[in-house]
Amino acid sequence: MNSPRNRSDLIAALADTAEPVRRVRAWQGACLIAAATLAAAIGTSTLFSFWDGILTGEASPYFWIGNGLLLMLGAASSAALVAGALPQVGPRANAPVWAFATLCLLPLAALIQLVWASGHHAHDGLADPAAWHCLTSALAAGLVVAVAAVLFLRRAAPVALARQAWLTGLAAGALGALAFGITCPLDGIAHLGIWHVLPVPIAALAARVIVPPLIRW
C-alpha cells in the first residue's frame, strides 16, 4: 500500500467511482431558513391574525426587546449552523452561546417581577391562560424552521452532529417564537419572558435527540 503503484491504483479506483455533485453553499442554507421563517410567520398570521398593535404603536418596549433578542439568537444560530455544515478549518463561532445567555435575562426579569407582583408567590403569575397556546404555537412554527435546517444539513457535510443539532434547535425555537410573536397581543414581561422564551430550550433539547440521526452521513 505504501508503494507508489499501490497508491496510484487506489486513487484511480476512487476516481472511477466519484461522481460530480452540485456544490452546497452557506448562503443557500441561510436563504432556506429565512424562507421557512417567513412561511411560518405567514402561516401563524393566517391562523391567528397579525397583531396590528405592532404598527399602531401599542406594543410595549418589552415586545421589541424580547422579539429583538429572539431575532438575534435565531440569526446567530442560523449563521453558525450553515457555516458548520460545510468543511472548514478554524475556530467555531460562539455568538449563539452569548445570544442565548442574553435571552435568558428575560425569564429572569419575568420571575423577579412575578415574585414582587404576587406577594412572593410566583406561581400565581405563572397561571397564564394563553401560556400553552403561545408555547405550542411557537413550537409548531419552529418545526417549519427545523425542517428547513435539516434539509440543508442533509445536503451538506456536517461533522459535529451534536453541535449542529443544538444549533438547529436554538434557531428553530427562536425563529418559531418570533414568527408566532407577531400575532400575540400579550406584551408584558411576565408573558414574553417565560412563554415566548420557553420554546427555545425545549426545541434545543428535542433537536439534540432527534436531529443527529437525520443528518448523519
One DSSP character per residue, 22-39 reads PPP-HHHHHHHHHHHHHH
Residue 159 lies in a domain: yes
Look up residue 59 and give its three cell numbers: 406594543
Residue 13 lies in a domain: no
- What pLDDT, on a 0 to 100 scale, did the predictor assign at position 113? 83
Domain count for the chain, please give it. Answer: 1
Of the candidates 115, 69, 122, 77, the one whose C-alpha atom is nearest the C-alpha of residue 96 is 77
With cell 411557537, the residue in question is 138
- What pLDDT, on a 0 to 100 scale, did the predictor assign at position 33? 97
Residue 1 lies in a domain: no
- What pLDDT, on a 0 to 100 scale, did the predictor assign at position 125? 47
Residue 145 lies in a domain: yes
Residue 11 lies in a domain: no
* Average pLDDT per consecutive 10 residues, the chain (217 residues; last block may be shorter): 58 56 76 97 95 93 96 96 77 85 94 72 59 94 97 88 95 97 93 95 97 90
Residue 91 lies in a domain: yes
- What pLDDT, on a 0 to 100 scale, did the predictor assign at position 15? 55
Residue 103 lies in a domain: yes
Dist. CA 177–CA 141, nearest whole Å: 7
- What pLDDT, on a 0 to 100 scale, did the predictor assign at position 55? 93
Dist. CA 69–CA 118, nearest whole Å: 27
Range of the domain at 159: 25-215
- What pLDDT, on a 0 to 100 scale, did the predictor assign at position 90? 55
- What pLDDT, on a 0 to 100 scale, did the predictor assign at position 122? 47
Residue 101 lies in a domain: yes
